[in-house]
């Protein structure tokens, strides 16, 4: 079984054909890259794999399951633009993201403390996101509660 299977996938935005009949497989345990010039459909393809955008035609499966809400839970996606609130404090941002994922407030707070301490980043908790470098900002959307024994 392929980790990711993409077969005859296309996506059109108005008159613009962003992805045209793309097919490929990603084997388990392998690292792949999608290369091409601006406008080639790389980001649109990644968004369809992550079920952020739905293909107009074709099939995408992740570990044999058709791409959908269920497969979003097993794929990590780190886009260039992180979608963080620049003036929000790091701790508030992480609590907000955890709550969006369905965590209860107290569990989110406990998980936040656990992970920030584990990553030796507790000093970030009261900093505004805008104060962090882009590299540091990329660490923020981790999912508090994943792997946390009570989260």
CA distances from residue 106 to 24, 78, 98, 123 in whole angstroms, order as listed? 43, 27, 11, 20
Residue 10 burial class via C-beta count within 10 angstroms: exposed 0-12, middle 13-18, buried 19 and up: middle
Q: What is the pLDDT of residue 62?
A: 96
Whole-structure pTM value: 0.60
Instruction: Please state, in angstroms and rounded to a whole number, the distance separating the CA atoms of residues 114 and 122.
Output: 9
So what CATH class is 4-72? alpha beta
Q: Please compute the mean of the pLDDT values over residues 13-40 and round it to a whole number.
A: 93
Structural domain spans, the chain: 4-72, 82-151
pLDDT at 146 over 50: no
Instruction: Please state, in angstroms and rounded to a whole number, the distance separating the CA atoms of residues 17 and 20.
Output: 6
Q: What is the pLDDT of residue 140?
A: 64
Residue scoring higher pLDDT (80 or 84): 84
């Amino acid at each position: 079984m392929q980790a990711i299977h993409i077969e005859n996938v296309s996506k059109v935005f108005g008159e613009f054909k962003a992805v045209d009949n793309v097919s490929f497989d990603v084997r388990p345990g392998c690292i792949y890259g999608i290369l091409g010039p601006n406008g080639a459909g790389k980001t649109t393809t990644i968004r369809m794999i992550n079920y952020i955008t739905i293909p107009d035609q074709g099939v995408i499966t992740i570990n044999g399951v058709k791409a959908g809400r269920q497969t979003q839970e097993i794929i990590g996606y780190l886009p260039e633009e992180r979608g963080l609130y620049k003036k929000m404090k790091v701790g508030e941002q992480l609590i907000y993201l955890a709550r969006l994922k369905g965590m209860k407030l107290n569990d989110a707070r406990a998980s936040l403390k656990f992970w920030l301490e584990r990553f030796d980043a507790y000093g970030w908790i009261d900093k505004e996101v805008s104060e962090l470098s882009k590299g540091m900002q990329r660490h923020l959307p981790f999912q508090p509660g994943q792997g946390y024994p009570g989260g």
